[in-house]
Structure 1
Amino acid sequence: MNSPLTATNADVLAAEEETTANLLLPHTYDIVWSLVIVVIVGLVFYRYVLPKFQAVLDERTAKIEGGIAQAEKAQEEAAEALKEYHQQLAEARADAAKTREEARAEGTAIIAELRTKAQDEASRIVETAHRQIEAERQTAAVSLRTEVGALATELASKIVGESLQDSARQSRVVDRFLDELEAAGDEPRTAQTASAGSSAGKEG
């Protein structure tokens, strides 16, 4: 009596499990159509969408590479410009140093030339002054000699008591008188020179 009931219960349980399994798994035609749709979508994506993505990616890659290349080129140009600037700066410094040395040498030459001219001018002025002084001294000596000769002749005439109208005698008297005056003038000068020499010897 229990065996048929047990078999029936087992059949019912098996049928319920099969129904539950069929509910979880799709049917075969669903799987097939799903695969067909996936293949179609994949072909469309690969045919139309992927090339556009690839083109966009290639364009961005080209832009990035171009930007990097331009940046490298700009960096090389900047380095070249900096190198040229340093070279020009070094040349400018060398030119400035050369110009400064030339200006210094030229200034030294000009100073030496001016100093030589000044010395020559001073020598010329001194020589002119000496000549003028010598001419004035000679003029004064001649004038003084004439005046002193007249006075000496007059004085000698009064002392001797005779006239010294003879020119030769008058000349001799004047010369002797002037020689005596010069000798009298040289004695104080000699004494002054000796005194100055002794003073210098004491100071030394």
Structure 2
Amino acid sequence: MGPLNPPRPELIVGLIGFALVFAVFVKVLVPRIEKTLAAREEAIEGTAERAVALNEEARRILSEYQAEVSAARHEAARLRGTATEEGAAFLAALRAEGVREREDLVVSAKAQLEADRIIAEAELREDIFTLATELAGRIVGEPLDNLTGARALADEFFAGIDAGEPAKG
């Protein structure tokens, strides 16, 4: 009897033991292994489905984000345009106000110059009258302060000058 020809009772006991171990393996371990493999496969497929769903969600969120960024850029451009227009209008208003104030100052200065000219002219006329009277008094040799027609004569002379008439001898 050798290893290739075992005794029959051992062979039967070995076959029955093998059958029992095989039956336990088939009845208990194979369903557990199949259940574990099915759970792993389901987890892998679920993970893949979740990954696809998450990828779609990420793309949707990205497109929404890009739409919001585009809308924000358009709004910023609109606000810049509005601000530019408002700034230009404000500058135009400031320029108009400056021109108006300048015109007011020019008118006021002209009025002041005219008033100063009239005052200076009146003072000069009075000084000329005084000097002419004093000179005439020196020529005559007597003071002419009491000359009654001198004032009327001087006023008539200055009125002629104002009218553009040449001075009379």
TM bin (shorter chain): 0.7 to 0.9
Matching of residue 169 in structure 1 with residue 149 in structure 2: no
Secondary structure, counterpart of 1:70 in structure 2: helix
TM-score (ref. length: structure 1): 0.64
Q: 1:69 — aligned with what? A: 49
**How far apart are the structure 2 equivalents of 1:90 and 1:70?**
30
Higher share of residues assigned helix: 1
CA positional deviation for 1:149: 2.2
Q: 2:60 — aligned with what? A: 80
Output aligned runs, 1:52-201, within 5 Å: 52-156=32-136, 164-166=147-149, 167-176=151-160, 178=161
Higher alpha-carbon Rg: 1
**How far apart are the structure 2 equivalents of 1:180 and 1:158?**
30
Matching of residue 50 in structure 1 with residue 50 in structure 2: no
**How far apart are the structure 2 equivalents of 1:114 and 1:108?**
10
Tell me the alpha carbon deviations over residues 57-103 of structure 1, each in whole angstroms, 9 at most, x when there is no partner: 01111211121122122212211221121112111111111111111
Bigger RCO of structures 1 and 2 (CA < 8 A, at least 6 apart): 1
Gaps of 5+ in 2: none
1:103–1:152 CA distance, 2 compared to 1 (3 A):
same
**How far apart are the structure 2 equivalents of 1:141 and 1:34?**
151
Q: For the aligned residues, what is the CA RMSD? A: 3.4
The one-letter code sitting in structure 2 at the alignment partner of 1:146 is: E
The one-letter code sitting in structure 2 at the alignment partner of 1:123 is: E
The one-letter code sitting in structure 2 at the alignment partner of 1:168 is: A
Gaps of 5+ in 1: 1-23, 185-204
How many pairs are equivalent?
162
TM-score (ref. length: structure 2): 0.75
Secondary structure, counterpart of 1:103 in structure 2: helix
The one-letter code sitting in structure 2 at the alignment partner of 1:165 is: T
